[in-house]
Chains A and B, each alone.
Chain A
Amino acid sequence: MADATAPAAIIDTSRKKRHWPPEFNALIGLIGIAIVFEILGWIVRDQSFFGNLTRLKIMILQVSIIGIIAIGVTQVIISGGIDLSSGSVVGATAMIATSFAQVGTYPRAVFIEQGWVDLPVIIPVVVGLGCGLIAGLINGLLIAYTKIPPFIATLGMMVSARGVAQWWTKGKPVSFPTDQYAAMGQGMTPVFIFLGVAILFYLILRFTVYGKHTYAIGSNEDAARMSGINVERHKVLVYTIAGLLAGLAAMVLSARGLTAQSGMGVMYELDAIAMSVIGGVSLAGGRGSIVGTTIGMIIFGVIISGFTFLRLDAFYQEMIKGAIIIAAVVADMYRQRRRAMES
């Protein structure tokens, strides 16, 4: 037994079960859904769904703004949390940022003081990012230091930020942004902004200490704390970044529509969460990736524009969207249970 020459540890290698990355499942799902819509397209409309380049462009444009939010939400969920406030933060940030980006040509439409019109674009951008950052920072501080469950803390922010959006202009919409501000939302720019953000956060989550710690906290918070990670400070950072990205999305959204209203971004938080979960991000934390979320976003886009293409009523679209979200969460739970049984 105590024979020192024997190899100390031979560990059986029989557990060679293959573990597909969840992104792979999402990709298969995407291909499956695409084929279904292509076939239905020929049956119902007698035309190709993917053959129409304009349709694909609109499809990707529609989802890429929520996609920016989904990147932030993804890293929140990986850290074991949830962010329900992003839609309302979009509303508040869109109102405030756009009000600093107005042109003076239409004095009657101008909100706030006359002197604030025709400002260089850097000012609304900094203000917008600042709004998102502050909202995220408050979320993070509440969650990390008062130990309120993320669900409750961000639910509170969801209600409050919507209030801010309405209070800022007493409910009036803000229109006529400067050309420079509007440029953020024109053409395919939102898609490029999404791509930039996605690539940046893919690299951050994969190759930096920040990414490692985000996964570690979501995977086993106690272990992370015992390993000396400052869990509280890290959580503040995670939610702040999510807020910052919601702020960025808000500016792109208002720039694209050339207007901001307090009702902007309603339900975006759920769409963003759905994109993440469909893309294989586990609501239990610790698992998921930007690649997955990007695939989830495209699936989301294909479904929405697919329904429109099939001339399905908007009511049915909402109903089916809800069912898809439930299906993705059920699949996630099933995966977790299977894993728990294996180990």
Chain B
Amino acid sequence: MTNVILKTEDLTKHYGGVHALESANFELRKGEHVAIMGDNGAGKSTFVRQITGVEQRTRGKIIFDGREVNFAGPLDAREAGIETVFQNLALADDLDVPSNLFLGREMVLFNLGPFSILDMKGMRRATEEGLKRTAVKIPNLNNAIRNMSGGQRQCVAIARTATFHSKLTIMDEPTAALGVQETAQVENIIRTLKEAGEPLILISHNMRQVFDLVDRIVVFRRGRMVANLSKNETDGQDVVAYITGAKTGAEFEGAA
């Protein structure tokens, strides 16, 4: 199974007595775009936090790019090639675009520990290339993120992916806070990623968006995976039935 980029086996997370995620067996192939859907508190974000090393899982295995991985933190996951666009836009508002793209992994001219000299030109050049690859146009890279629109900010967050040649992109509700036009921009970037063959996990509540963009839909309910549907073999009503609990996938019987 060399074409599988990410696989989880029995992935489980308990917060004290709360079983936020229970035995998730998930698989993502190279070049595939998968949506994760489910109600609030269904375990979608918890699932992502385990994969990206933001939290430590209670149990289970994560196999990424052919190797079993144990990320100690989000930076580990990034270095391995998992790039995440978080729900709450992990951007520093007062910094400009290149500084945000390279936050936590700055390019350095001279290594002097914490006082290492930044390679500003190098970071700027890499940023320009990354933006070109995602076809994102930002008029002034030196502008602080604060002075940008919601869509621009989200584009910057997504452009990290292209800048670092990531092997897997995860987006946690990337358009939740955006207007119609800005949502369209972000969706177009996602299509660009699809054409480039970059795998993606998209968390979204937007049924139209999910059916427009992805190949496969995975549904979570009350901490468990309850369905794994190919887009062509399902429709909106069907998915809603799984989300609300009216239906449970055959292979997941007994799970929820």
Which A residues form the contact surface with B (CB < 8 A)? 1-2, 4, 6-13, 15, 17, 19, 204, 207-210, 212-213, 215-216, 218-220, 222-224, 226-229, 234, 237, 286-287, 339, 342-343
Interface positions, chain B 87-146, Cβ under 8 Å from A, are 88-95, 99, 103-106, 108, 112, 114-118, 120, 134-139, 144, 146
* B interface list, Cβ under 8 A from A: 54, 73-75, 78, 86, 88-95, 99, 103-106, 108, 112, 114-118, 120, 134-139, 144, 146-149, 151-152, 155, 184-186, 188-189, 191-192, 195, 212
Closest to B145 in A: A219
Whether the Cβ atoms of B189 and A9 lie closer than 8 Å is yes
Contact B114 A237 (CB under 8 A): yes
| A212/B147 in contact, CB under 8 A | no
Q: Identify 10 new A-B residue pairs, CB closer than 8 A, beyond the known A8-B191, A209-B106.
A: A8-B192, A9-B136, A11-B149, A11-B152, A19-B147, A207-B118, A208-B116, A209-B115, A215-B99, A223-B89
Contact A2 B104 (CB under 8 A): no
CA distance A226 to B87 in the complex (A): 12
CB-CB under 8 A from A207, the residues of chain B are 117-118, 120
Task: Determine whether the beta carbon of A11 is less than 8 Å from that of B185.
Answer: yes
Query: Are A226 and B86 in contact, CB atoms less than 8 angstroms apart?
Result: yes
Cα separation A224 to B103 with both chains bound (whole Å): 7
Q: Are B116 and A209 in contact (CB under 8 A)?
A: yes
Is A343 in contact with B147, judged by CB distance below 8 angstroms?
A: yes
- Asked if residues B106 and A10 are in contact (CB atoms below 8 Å), the reply is no
Complex-state Cα separation, A2 to B213, whole angstroms: 9
Given A4-B195, A8-B136, A9-B188, A226 contacting B95 (CB threshold 8 A): no
Q: Which residues of A contact B189 (CB under 8 A)?
A: 8-9
A342 to B54 CA separation, bound complex (whole angstroms) = 32
Q: Which residues of A contact B151 (CB under 8 A)?
A: 9, 11
Q: A11-B139, A209-B115, A222-B88 are in contact. Are A228 and B75 (CB under 8 A)?
A: yes
From B90, B120, B138, B146, give the contact of A227 (CB < 8 A). Answer: B90
Asked if residues A219 and B94 are in contact (CB atoms below 8 Å), the reply is yes
Q: What are 18 A-B pairs at a CB distance below 8 A? A: A2-B191, A7-B137, A8-B188, A10-B137, A15-B149, A207-B118, A208-B112, A209-B118, A212-B106, A216-B92, A219-B93, A219-B94, A219-B95, A224-B103, A227-B90, A227-B103, A229-B103, A343-B148
